[in-house]
């Protein structure tokens, strides 16, 4: 089984056809078809259903695609790792970063990182935890920095806590309930449940139950940060968010905190990566930059 066979298969599977894959790989269609047949001969099973409309992954192909994607990602990482060990200041790193980490210290992290790897390409994504988990497993993400998910993390991941956090009630500037000082005074508000790390309905319920209050019935669960910002800034909706949302200069002109007496704990911000495989030098340098900035930020966090 050769690397180019895996690469060609992954590209066809991702793009959904020989013609598009041949264009991306700068190969002729007959050469690409021959490469796929070689891989199928090696595996002893067909990977595609071939029709007059093209080639579509069959059951075998769909099962093998995830493994092939992970294998090609790791082989590419291995090649980059050797180049970085040789002194190359380039390479690529892909990371998922939550809103809290982005608002707190992402610019400082990247500035410090670029001093060490000036030519590196950095890919940053956000998304729900299931999407991030898939990216970590298939190798398209090197690591993630964000809230610890509420469900149990699999044994194939290493979780490193960077700092603990808590949440506050967040709404728009000049919100009509801005003078409220108790959670019970906000029960009739229009609440939005956030879902960046997965379904948060149970977490939302537990906050009110903890203080013996009736649980509101939110009509919106928002898993988009841009949509959430639009809802909070443009309506009378409220939600529970990490306090960095209102402390950030970027958000401060739009959002404000309603200072209730009750404490609302939040998930710790963690660095999550796959177990059993080391980070490349460029990914490790970026992870260390996040660790340093989090350690620098923690004392000021504890004083507020």
Neighbours of 63 (CB within 10 A): 12
- For residue 85, pLDDT over 80 is answered with no
Same CATH fold assignment for domains 90-163+268-303 and 164-267: yes
- For residue 54, pLDDT over 80 is answered with no
- SS3 category, 287: helix
Q: Which residues of 134-162 are buried (b: 16+ CB within 10 A; e: fewer)?
A: ebbbbbebbbbbbbbbeeeeeeebeeeeb
164-267: CATH architecture: 3-Layer(aba) Sandwich (3.40)
Beta strand spans in 127-263 (E): 143-147, 157-172, 192-194, 220-222, 239-242, 255-258
Give the pLDDT confidence of 151-177 residue by residue, as tens digits: 656 678 889 999 888 889 999 999 999
CATH level 3 topology of 90-163+268-303: D-Maltodextrin-Binding Protein; domain 2 (3.40.190)
What class, spelled out in words, does domain 3-83 have in CATH?
mainly alpha
The domain segmentation of the chain, as residue ranges, is 3-83, 90-163+268-303, 164-267
Q: Give pTM, 2 decimals.
A: 0.69
- For residue 303, pLDDT over 80 is answered with no
């Amino acid at each position: 089984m050769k690397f180019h066979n895996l690469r060609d298969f992954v590209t066809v599977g991702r793009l959904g056809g020989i013609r598009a894959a041949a264009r991306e790989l700068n190969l002729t269609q007959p050469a690409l078809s021959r490469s796929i047949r070689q891989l199928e001969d090696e595996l002893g099973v067909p990977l595609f259903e071939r029709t007059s409309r093209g080639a579509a992954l069959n059951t075998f192909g769909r099962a093998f695609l995830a493994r092939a994607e992970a294998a090609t990602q790791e082989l590419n990482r291995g090649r980059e790792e050797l180049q970085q060990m040789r002194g190359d200041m380039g390479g690529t790193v892909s990371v998922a970063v939550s809103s809290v980490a982005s608002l707190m210290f992402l610019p400082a992290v990247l500035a410090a990182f670029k001093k060490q790897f000036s030519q590196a390409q950095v890919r940053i994504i956000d998304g729900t935890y299931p999407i991030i988990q898939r990216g970590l497993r298939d190798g398209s993400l090197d690591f993630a920095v964000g809230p610890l998910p509420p469900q149990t993390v699999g044994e194939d991941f290493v979780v490193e806590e960077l700092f603990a956090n808590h949440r506050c009630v967040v709404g728009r500037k000049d919100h009509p309930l801005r003078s409220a000082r108790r959670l019970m005074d906000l029960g009739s508000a229009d609440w939005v449940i956030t879902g960046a790390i997965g379904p948060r309905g149970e977490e939302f319920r537990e906050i009110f139950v903890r203080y013996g209050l009736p649980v509101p019935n939110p009509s919106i669960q928002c898993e988009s940060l841009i949509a959430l910002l639009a809802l909070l800034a443009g309506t009378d909706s409220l939600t529970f968010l990490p306090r960095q949302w209102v402390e950030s200069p970027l958000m401060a002109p739009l959002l404000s905190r309603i200072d209730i007496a009750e404490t609302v704990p939040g998930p710790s911000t963690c660095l999550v990566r796959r177990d059993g495989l080391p980070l490349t030098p460029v990914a490790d340098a970026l992870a260390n930059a996040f660790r340093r900035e989090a350690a620098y930020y923690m004392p000021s966090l504890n004083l507020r």
